[in-house]
Structure 1
Amino acid sequence: MEKTIRYLIASMVLLAPASTLVVRGGTGYCFFVLVAIAVFAGLSKPFRLSPGLLISAYPLYTAGMLCFMVYLPLQQALEGYYLPREFDGLSRFALSLPIFLLLVNVPIGYLKALGWGCTLGAFGAGVWAADSAIHMTVTELNRLGNDFTNPIPYGNTALLLGFLSVMTIRWDDYRNAWMRRLGIGLKLLGFAAGLYASYLSGTRGGWLAIPLFLVLCSFNFGWVKRWQDGLAAAGAVVLAMALLLASPIGRERVMATESDLAQLTHDAAPSTSLGARLQLWRASIQMFEEHPLLGVGKGHLKSHLQSMADAGVISPLVVNQRAHSEFFSTVAELGAVGVVCLALLYLGPLVYFLRYRRSPHRDVSTAAYCGIAVSGSVIIFGLSIDVLTVVMSTALIALMWAVLLAVIARDTCLRQSSTIESRADSRNR
């Protein structure tokens, strides 16, 4: 029975990233299966949960996962309204805590299914991109996405899955050289497929994460050991970005940016992507100045933007539910307290990934570098889009953080137990 549950857990860890871009709600189904296992199987041996571990060993991670779910009900109570739908996406972070406690009880080999899940997810995105390229012409108004994901989160997620596919090569053990070559080849194919899907999506903001991902790959595989290696890695990053921007879609997106900037000087900002964002960000700052502590209220951004448009402060063309930036949406809706919560969410898991990135154990160091990639992508993607409003994205991010930190915690717990046992043996002697 125990082994069956472990295989079920591993299958959910694999299917969550594998299904995220190809099956509507796929990640959510896997996420809640793991929550159910944590609730029911976690109440009995050998999966008994230890909540004390969250406070004693990972307090910042715990605070980051819980902060929004503590603050949002309090904000609504203080401001006298009730919008339960605003809890939906952010609740995934709080629900990931029992999943983390469950996964700490699972051997690392089962958790490493995440790497192959990312490979399958990136491959699925690439196949969809190739099929779409045959049947459509990619333009500014006709970019790659699917029936349940618009081009920006689609391209960003595909890019992240592609890089995680190649970074988790260090996790894999093979019986022979032939299997090793096949496994590496499949993960490199997933990497290429994820990049191709991101390329067709035309997500300019997401491409800003590519230098970070390349640097993390270099450190993960130990390619950067001397200053000469650092220069070579920097040159590779510059070359990769140059090739991307010199490609047909890259040139089109650069020209679109130049056009946006040119139109800004002719008071045509609302008709451009960049101009609309600038108006939204300025309006968000104005809302923050008027409501500095708690903001205008989660879910009330659109109504306040409409009031500003009616007063002639902003263009009616930019009125929508989000500010197209995680930071500015948070500033406007949640105020200074919300910014503190967002910082905790960003930094809570990141602190531990940074701490263990130089571990001599490859499973731990790989998990740490992958965790830095996930955290860094959430921050960078959030510069130009509201990452945390997409429930699919929050579920995937929360689950990835839980799995990667569980790898680190599992290794740490095993080594601490080994140390205690060795000390006990020496005393008995």
Structure 2
Amino acid sequence: MSTPVTPSSLSVSRRSLLPAFLLLTFPALTLLLQGGASAVSIAASVISLVLLLGPRSWSGLAPLRWDQVDARLCIAMACPLVAVLISELSHAKVVPNTLDSPARFLAAMPLFLVLRQALPRTLAWSDLSFALGALASLGILLVAPQYSGIGRVSSRFLNPIHFGDIALILGVLSILSLNWWRKDSLPVRILKIAGLLAGLAASVLTGSRGGWAAVPVVAVLILYMRGRGKSRRWKVLLPLAIIAIVAGVFVFSSSARERFTILKSDVIHYEEGQRDTSLGIRLQLYETALKIVENHPLLGLGAHGFRDSMQSFEDAGMLTPLAAQNGKGETHNQFFAYLTDYGMLGGFALLCIYVAPGVLFWRRLNAPNPPARSAALMGLTFVLSFWIFGLTVETFDLKMTVAFYATMVAILAALASYADKASDRTGVAPR
């Protein structure tokens, strides 16, 4: 059994100052600073790579020892870049700007390899990071809101859907971090609960509804994992609390009720032949994507293939002009985005960046170290949520969201595996 990290043990040496700063501030910086996620993730990757390649005498790192989990995660995160390159080379059209986003998945792996060797007192600086990020999301909407052309609110550099989804997952991670590294004091508990409420409120204010599809799935996962070994009373009260929170959102938020009323209306209109609604446009684009995959299954259309095919599908009457115009921006589904441009090879590569981290987190749910188990549940929740987010929006069409996902996976994977690594090296529980 490991020794809990106490507040007095949260001091950091000069060598640990940068990783501690990254762990504490990354979620908040993602939302507060334009380009913050990209800049911090790139800097962290470069510094981590230098440390891994540099002399052990000044890096302070133990010799790199790979295990199957590490290798699988790194290979999986390299798959999108490999798939994009193969597809584009096969079409004799390599577009440099399409390589940036998939490269960022792989670029986050040096950070994972460094953080997994960090001491618990450094890793514990992640304790309040999700609460601070969620609170920052609500603060932005209250202090400096930016209204889109469709009357929805977001930040000045993120669209409402991405902003709302990130705020939502940070709120969930905030509540999952309760009693993470130690038994939290009352002020810390209040802060983390406030993080949950802030994340939910920010998501509701943006009018983003697709991300809420993740809530019941995540709730079942949390109830199953946290309910093991608990009393019957606990197993009754926690589901009731989750239901009460979700119900409260709809009871007290006219915006939430309105967004889901619109969804019901869109279904009716689509059945009546009115296809130019939010849902109708998505369904048109999905039908078009399936047609493309049917005709170009293995390697897709190549770089920007879906976007460039919109006019021909409009001319053929398969898309309305409004749907074609929207399709030039995105497919509104991350899997279809990769399948249409890079074929089944691209779809498999995309699946890898969800499945490989998911398997890592699933296996660490039974880690001997309580903080590692909690990190594993947070990691599995994060990956599962992002996969669901991608069913209704392109989650990785922005470099910022790619950097956020890849860096968060690297951080959470390191947090979930550090204890086993330390124990393997020393033969004792980490202190």
Is this a same-fold pair by TM over 0.5? Answer: yes
Three-state SS of the structure 1 residue aligned to 2:297 is coil
User: Does residue 1:293 correspond to 2:303, yes or no?
Assistant: no
Correspondence 1:151 to 2:163: no
What is the identity, as a one-letter code, of the residue corresponding to 1:296?
L
Match of 1:185 in 2: 190
Aligned to 1:255: 261
Measure the CA separation in 2 of the matches of 1:51 and 1:28.
26
**d(CA) in 1 for partners of 2:112, 2:187:** 31
Aligned partner of 1:279 among 252, 267, 284: 284
Deviation of 1:358 after TM superposition, in Å, equals 2.6
What is residue 11 of structure 1 aligned with on the other side?
A: 21
| Residue 273 of structure 2 corresponds to residue 267 of structure 1 | yes
5+ long unaligned stretches in structure 1 = 422-429
Cα offsets for 1:368-408 (capped at 9, x unmatched)? 00101111111110110011112111111111111111123
Residue 318 of structure 1: aligned partner: 323
Distance in 2 (alpha carbons) for counterparts of 1:211 and 1:83 = 39
Q: CA deviation at 1:229?
A: 5.2
Quote the Cα distance in structure 2 between the aligned partners of 1:195 and 1:149. 17
Within a 5 Å distance, the mapping from 1:192-231 to structure 2 comes to 192-218=197-223, 221-222=226-227, 225=230, 230=235
Q: Structure 1 249/188 Cα, relative in aligned 2: closer, same or farther at 3 Å?
A: same
Secondary structure at 2:362 match in 1: helix
Q: Map of 1:237-386 to 2, 5 A cutoff?
A: 237-246=242-251, 247-269=253-275, 271-319=276-324, 320-386=328-394
Q: Deviations over 1:157-213 (max 9, x none)?
A: 001111111211222437xxxx81111111222221111101101111111122234
Number of aligned residue pairs: give it.
Answer: 411
**What is the match of residue 38 of structure 1?**
48
How far apart in 1 are the matches of 2:267 and 2:297?
30
- Superposed displacement of residue 49, structure 1: 7.3
Distance 1:49 1:280 in 2: 50
1:256 partner SS:
helix
Give the match's secondary structure for 1:141: coil
Report the more deviating stretch, 392-401 or 409-418.
409-418
Contact 2:69 2:360 in 1 (8 A): no
- Which of 95, 116, 127 is the aligned partner of 1:104? 116
- Does the Cα contact within 8 Å between 1:206 and 1:380 map onto a contact in 2? yes
Q: Which amino acid aligns with 2:390?
A: G
Measure how far apart 1:104 and its partner are.
Answer: 1.8
Amino acid at match of 1:260: D
Question: Is 185-194 or 286-295 further displaced after alignment?
Answer: 185-194
Give 4+ residue runs of structure 1 displaced > 3 Å after superposition: 46-52, 212-243, 418-421
Corresponding letter in the other structure for 2:334: E
| 2:98 aligned to which of 69, 83, 86 | 86
Root-mean-square deviation (Å): 2.5
Which amino acid is the alignment partner of residue 171 of structure 1?
W
Correspondence 1:132-151 to 2 at 5 A: 141-151=150-160
Pick from 103, 115, 119: which aligns with 2:127?
Answer: 115
Deviations 1:224-282 (A, max 9, x none): 7367755554444444433333431121012111221121123211x211000000000
Q: Which runs of 5+ in 2 are unaligned?
A: 1-11
Partners of 1:49 and 1:85 in 2: CA distance = 36
- Give the partner amino acid of 1:161: L
Report how far residue 41 of structure 1 moved: 2.8
CA distance in 2, matches of 1:285, 1:51: 44
Change (3 A) 1:158 1:20: same
Instruction: Identify the match of residue 38 of structure 2 among 14, 28, 35.
Output: 28
Deviation per CA, 1:330-379: give whole Å up to 9, x if none.
Answer: 22112111121122111001001111113342111111001011111111
Which residue does the alignment assign to 1:58?
A: 70
Which amino acid letter does the alignment assign opposite residue 189 of structure 2? I
Return 97-106 or 409-418, whichever deviates more: 409-418
Contact 1:353 1:372 in 2 (8 A): yes
C-alpha change, 1:50 and 1:213, in structure 2 (3 Å) is farther
Counterpart CA distance in 2 for 1:334 and 1:235 is 44
Question: Which string of whole-angstrom CA distances, capped at 9 and with x for unpartnered residues, describes residues 298-336 of structure 1?
Answer: 322111122111222211211223210112222211211
What is the identity percentage for the equivalent residue pairs of Structure 1 and Structure 2? 28
Taking structure 2 as the reference length, the TM-score comes to: 0.88
List per-residue Cα deviations over 1:91-127 (Å, max 9, x = no partner). Answer: 1110011111111221133223233222211111111
Cα gap change, 1:28 to 1:238, in 2 (>3 Å) = same
